Chain A
Amino acid sequence: MELRPLGHPIMDAMLTGVTADALESAFQAVAAADGIIAVTPAFNASFSGLFKSFFDVLPAQALSDMPVLIGATGGTERHSLVLEHALRPMFSYLHAIVSPRAVYAATSDFGSQAGPALGERIATAAADFARLLRACGPRARRDLVDEDLASIQQLLGGETGGS
């Protein structure tokens, strides 16, 4: 899933709460996944604003218990800790299960002398993530409407004004 085509709908949702069909489909795709791989360029010591904005408008709990593999790209490997200092805390906050090994790719990984190092890091991280996915199994979908209703049903249960 590319966020660039969703840039305008993401900003509209943030400003007005109105969700375009394309963005709604993206939300549903995320909610229906058994795991996601989330990748962003490193911008100014963090993720890109567009990447963060998507997760800011994603409905609450959409990532709860979701296995997530995080990755980032950047001009130099000196920024690789953006994965540990920006992406991992955000996904932990969203109650995702973040795979322990993240993948960072810098300009040098794409240079002519790069060798197989990036491929090996990807393979190792992917193997970890595959084990995590197997261990987690198919993801239990939460019915948030039912969860919302449980609280009011409990309150109404104590209410004698009903018919």
Chain B
Amino acid sequence: MGSSEASGMQFGIFTVGDVTPDPTTGKAPTEAERIRATVAIARKAEEAGLDVFATGEHHNPPFVPSSPTTLLGYIAGQTERIILSTSTTLITTNDPVKIAEDFSVLQHLSGGRTDVMLGRGNTGPVYPWFGQDIRNALPLTVEHYGLLRRLWREEVVDWQGKLRTSLQGFTLAPRPLDNVPPFVWHASIRTPEVAELAAYFGDGFFANHIFWPTSHTQAMVELYRRRFEHYGHGTPEQAIVGLGGQAFMRRNSQDAVDEFRPYFDNAPVYGHGPSLEDFTALTPLTVGSPAQVVERTLGFRDYVGDYQRQLFLMDHAGLPLKTVLEQLDLLGEEVVPVLRQEFAVGRPAGVPAAPTHESLLRARTADEEPQTDSEDNPEAR
């Protein structure tokens, strides 16, 4: 953890958990193979020196991670250092009481190596499977999250809302580890309301970044930073920003392009659309040498400012496990060490480090003790 605290930034990976046939062989892994591969990828991420592993949540084929805290709990038992997170946890269709319970347990199991990234989910049919209605996505987000915050912060909760049965004298069990709630990120592909929500509560804002032109990401991060200040959580530079990214690397960049092209061309989300060349020009996807990935990633700071968390999507579109593990070695050996070093250069002192359980605990302890100085503590929220 020392390395991420030194540079102030966390680096990691996020997975969608798709079961996609490898376009070069036509073979798809079984669900069991995909789930076991995900665990192997998370273990490799820790071994490669990354700080964060995050899993998506999906409830329909061809995806396997429908129960993220089960998966993360297992990974917690197989790792020692890496932070376990989600990308994203559906705040709309999951009951907030269950989210609070699941992540409290995960916090205890992992020794505080837990945070959570909340998202709305945009797969319409999923809502009724969990008794909800996509037309209520925004009110559900606000109401569920308001309740979740209280469950993690108040010993006894009396609560009444419009979209869920009320609670009388409810106490979450187990309580959050050290009474410090998991840090919350709010993630968005294109919805400015999510930036507003994150700013309102002074939580982190994660821009998915990988499907949209950088101008959209820039506009949303700017909005979040501005509103973070508006709601009195600190200066815009003190807001907590995370970004997605996507890379495929080989030492020789043309080898990377040749090897990745069939996976790109047939990828479930953007395949059969723009060319690899157009897509790499328009989005953060970088296919080339580790040095090219370093250079591209360092450029993100130019339009979002100094930020706290960078996650890469490395394991989708049917890439074989062996290839993904090689990618993680390259990421850990040749990309992240340089990024840590370079991102630390010129990083203003007022930019907070990425929050961890330890930093939140320190901030809370400092908050409870009599103030000995008047220094602003951006983490005390």
CB distance from A135 to the nearest CB of B (A): 33
Do the beta carbons of B211 and A17 come within 8 Å of each other? yes
> Nearest-CB distance from B191 to chain A (Å)?
8
Q: Who on chain B is nearest to A152 by CB?
A: B193
In the assembled complex, B368 has its CB within 8 A of some CB on chain A:
no
List chain A residues, Cβ under 8 A from B311. none
With A152-B196, A156-B196, A163-B201 already in contact, the answer to whether A16 and B138 are too (CB < 8 A) is no
Flag whether B139 is at the interface (Cβ < 8 A): yes
Q: Name B344-381 residues within 8 Å CB distance of A.
A: 381
- Complexed CA–CA distance, A47 and B153 (Å): 58
Q: Given that A12-B273, A156-B200, A161-B149 are contacting pairs, would A17 and B212 also be in contact in the complex, using a CB cutoff of 8 Å? A: yes
Write the B269-295 contact mask toward A (1 if CB under 8 angstroms, else 0): 110111000110011000000000000
Chain B 208-233: CB-based contact to A (< 8 A → 1; otherwise 0): 00011101000100010000000111
Chain A residues, CB < 8 A from B223: 145
B-side interface residues, number (CB < 8 Å): 36
* Contact B138–A161 (Cβ < 8 Å): no
- The reply to whether the CB of B249 lies closer than 8 angstroms to some CB of chain A is no
Contact yes or no, A163 B202, CB < 8 A: yes
User: Which B residue's beta carbon lies closest to that of A153?
Assistant: B196
Task: Please measure, in the bound complex, the distance between the C-alpha atom of A17 and the C-alpha atom of B193, giving whole angstroms.
Answer: 19
Distance (Å) between the CB of B204 and the closest chain A CB? 15
Which of the segments A18-26, A98-106, A120-128 contacts the partner chain? A18-26
Q: Which residues of B contact A20 (CB under 8 A)?
A: 274, 278, 282
With contacts A16-B269, A149-B196, A153-B196 known, is A159 near B279, CB below 8 A?
no
Collect the chain B residues with CB atoms within 8 Å of residue A159's CB: 142-143, 146
Are B273 and A16 in contact, with the CB atoms below 8 A? yes
Q: Let me know if B269 and A12 touch, CB within 8 A.
A: no
Q: Closest chain B residue to A16 by CB distance?
A: B273
Q: Total interface residues on A, using CB and 8 Å?
A: 23
Mask, A43-69, CB within 8 Å of B = 1, is 000000000000000000000000000
Beta-carbon contacts under 8 Å, A146-163 to B: 148-149, 151-153, 155-156, 159-163
Please report the C-alpha to C-alpha distance between residue A156 and residue B202 in the assembled complex, in whole angstroms.
13
Check B213 against A24 for contact (C-beta < 8 Å): yes
List chain B residues, Cβ under 8 A from A162. 146, 200-201, 231
Q: Is the interface of B mostly helix, strand, loop or mixed?
A: helix
- Is B125 interfacial (CB 8 A cutoff)? no
Whether the pair A12, B274 counts as a contact (CB closer than 8 A) is: yes
Rounded to whole Å, the gap between the CB of B319 and the closest CB of chain A is 19
Using known A-B contacts A18-B279, A18-B282, A156-B196, determine if residue A151 contacts B212 with beta carbons closer than 8 Å: no
Q: A152 to chain B: which residues have CB within 8 Å? A: 138, 142, 193, 196-197
A157 to chain B, nearest CB (A): 10
Cα–Cα, bound, A17→B231 (Å): 32
Please tell me if A15 contacts chain B, counting CB pairs below 8 Å.
Answer: yes
**29 chain-A/chain-B pairs, Cβ below 8 angstroms:** A16-B211, A16-B270, A16-B274, A17-B212, A18-B273, A21-B213, A21-B282, A24-B215, A145-B219, A148-B191, A148-B192, A149-B196, A151-B138, A152-B138, A152-B142, A152-B193, A152-B196, A152-B197, A155-B138, A155-B139, A156-B142, A156-B196, A156-B200, A159-B142, A159-B146, A161-B146, A161-B149, A161-B150, A163-B233
- 14 additional A-B pairs beyond A15-B273, A18-B211, beta carbons within 8 Å, are A16-B270, A18-B278, A20-B274, A20-B282, A145-B192, A148-B191, A149-B196, A152-B193, A152-B196, A155-B142, A159-B142, A161-B145, A161-B147, A161-B201
